[in-house]
Amino acid sequence: MTNQNTRGVELDYLPELPQRRDVPIGCIGAGFIMSDCHLVAYRQAGFNPIAITSRTLKSAQTAADRHGISKVYATCHELFADPEIEVIDIAVPPDKQLGIIQKAVKHHDHIRGILAQKPLGLNYAEAKTIVQMCQQAGITLVVNQNMRYDQSVRACNHLLREGLLGEAVFGTIDMRAIPHWMPWQKRLGWVTLRIMSIHHLDTFRYWFGDPQRVFASFRPDPRTEKSFPHTDGICLYILEYEHGLRAAGWDDVWTGPAENGAESDIGIHWRVEGTDGLARGSIGWPNYPARTPSTLDYTTTHLPGKWLQPRWEEVWFPDAFVGPMAELLCALETNREPEISGHDNLKTMALVDACYLSAQEHRAVAISEIFNTK
């Protein structure tokens, strides 16, 4: 689907939707991501969540009542055993995901697809185990790398694919934001890299393909380290590509003492420079729950002498959450490999692990080092 007011070229910024939208979906988890993002987006798109379970029956029932879900199960075992369910949508902490998928794949007689959260596992090795389990069971696995479905990110990808920016030279993502951290992060000791930076690293892969190596440097976030020790607070990383392209992310979750009386300066901005053009944009997410669409401005030698500024009504949270489930349903419908398949996501997980290793050892790390780890 395309932007109807591009003032330039038609931009493909919305996900492809399946012909069949009534595929029965069973939902695992009833927290913010499921109740405020997935289920809101699915109703907008006409998808068909028919069952839900969560850690507590009360939270599952609350989500079911809010979103008109007919079946509420006390356990995932009961939900997986429901022969009507064809697709499983999982929204649980990453250290719980492997165990849940191990149970789900046993019901491959009627479960055909799984949408899992990012990060897919605690590390690359665990993610690889999950991918192999689903492959052996004949279940199509998609990973919810939903920033690929942010409208400005998809629009920039369209510009790159159509050659309007020429050969990519340099790309950046600069995040200055104070995320709402989840309680489970404390027990895992994670702050930014596997939670926020993974979006940006995956976006660089979506735009530019796979880098050869990465150099990363971290420091703790002064705000979060009061709650629990961690290394990946403020995360900086540089991706090196074979033909000279460089990409860099600056993920600053401190942003100054904005919660202690100082003024705030919060936002996410990205920029892609090419031999034939330049694109720059903003991500509206930091303003959630206010509906703030992401933006894109671009200029190209193919349409010289002007800045083009397409705009849209859709927002990343929650509208873009249609995309990952739509990709799974389309893949099942057409019997093809999903764009955000588990196999593809292993490359993102390897890049994340390479960043951790780089920061720990203070050196550039080739992504192949992670692939070759036994």
Q: pLDDT per residue over 214-229, tens digit each?
A: 999 999 999 999 999 9
Cα(175)–Cα(157) distance, rounded to whole angstroms?
19
Closest listed residue to residue 116, CA positions, set 96, 90, 145: 90
pLDDT at 320 over 70: yes
DSSP for 12-57, written as a single string: B-S----S----EEEEE--SHIIIIIIHHHHHHHT-EEEEEE-SSH
Is there a contact between 134 and 105 (Cβ–Cβ < 8 Å)? yes
pLDDT, tens digit, for every residue of 184-195? 999 999 999 999
Mean pLDDT of 150-161: 98
Which pLDDT belongs to residue 151?
98
pLDDT at 287 over 70: yes
Which pLDDT belongs to residue 374?
57
Pairing of strands 303-308, 168-176: unpaired
Domains located in the chain, CATH noted? 24-146 (3.40.50.720), 151-315+345-369 (3.30.360.10)
pLDDT, tens digit, for every residue of 345-363? 999 999 999 999 999 999 9
Amino acid letter at 274? G
Which pLDDT belongs to residue 6?
44
What's the burial of 272, exposed, middle or buried (CB within 10 Å: 0-12/13-18/19+)? buried
Mean pLDDT of 186-207: 97
More confident position, 180 or 350: 350
Which pLDDT belongs to residue 41?
98
Which pLDDT belongs to residue 7?
53
pTM value is 0.96
Confidence of residue 21 (pLDDT cuts 50, 70, 90): very high
Confidence of residue 305 (pLDDT cuts 50, 70, 90): very high
More confident position, 102 or 6: 102
